[in-house]
């Protein structure tokens, strides 16, 4: 009986820690994320810059999805195989792009919503030869391993970035998911030197 009481108290303390860690605080209004070094195609941006943007929906938002945040019923894709299949299709499309800059939304690291699949690693492999920076908009704290969620935006550039990716919080966006987990929606500012001496 004493063991069960102690275990119950420990569980309550853990749940209180998770709740507090995920509700309190938040990110600063401004911040930055360093680009991971990559082999970039050029040091300066041409006069015409090509940009692709895509919300890849955690590699789980195919025709079969009915996601709860879109007023559906599913908390995640139906299976890990579905995530793998979607990620393969996303990778194939990304690999065929010839854009100087690729902006991806809803990119996930291994988590509950991806059945433990590393979507960020998959898109990174498809866009080899790009500098990359990732910033999580939703990041659960003290939630074990693949039960947690770490989802955000990734910026890829074939042109060498001039410094880190700047993050500017969007003040009118909601700051909570399900009333518990912090959401830090931020604008990503990428600076590139132009061939003409100017800046993109």
pLDDT of residue 112: 85
CB atoms within 10 A of CB 33: 19
The whole-model pTM stands at 0.82
pLDDT beneath 50: ranges in the chain: none
Exposed, middle or buried by CB within 10 Å (0-12, 13-18, 19+), for 122?
buried
pLDDT of residue 113: 85
CB atoms within 10 A of CB 47: 8
pLDDT of residue 74: 76
Mean pLDDT, rounded, of the chain? 83
Question: Strand (E) positions, 65-130?
Answer: 101-108
Q: CA 58 to CA 39: how far, in whole Å?
A: 26
pLDDT of residue 20: 60
């Amino acid at each position: 009986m004493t063991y069960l009481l102690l275990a119950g108290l420990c569980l309550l303390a853990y749940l209180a820690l998770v709740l507090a860690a995920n509700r309190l605080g938040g990110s600063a209004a401004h911040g930055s994320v360093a680009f991971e070094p990559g082999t970039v195609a050029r040091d300066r941006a041409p006069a015409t810059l090509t940009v692709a943007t895509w919300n890849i929906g955690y590699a789980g938002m195919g025709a079969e999805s009915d996601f709860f945040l879109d007023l559906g019923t599913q908390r995640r894709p139906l299976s890990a195989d579905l995530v793998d299949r979607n990620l393969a299709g996303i990778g194939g499309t990304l690999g065929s792009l010839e854009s100087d800059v690729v902006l991806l939304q809803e990119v996930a690291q291994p988590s509950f919503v991806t059945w433990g699949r590393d979507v960020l690693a998959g898109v990174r492999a498809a866009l080899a030869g790009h500098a990359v920076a990732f910033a999580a908009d939703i990041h659960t704290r003290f939630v074990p391993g693949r039960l947690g969620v770490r989802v955000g935006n990734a910026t890829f550039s074939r042109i060498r970035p001039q410094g880190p990716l700047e993050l500017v919080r969007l003040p009118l966006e909601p700051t909570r998911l399900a009333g518990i987990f912090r959401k830090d929606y931020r604008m990503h500012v990428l600076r590139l030197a132009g061939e003409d001496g100017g800046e993109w």
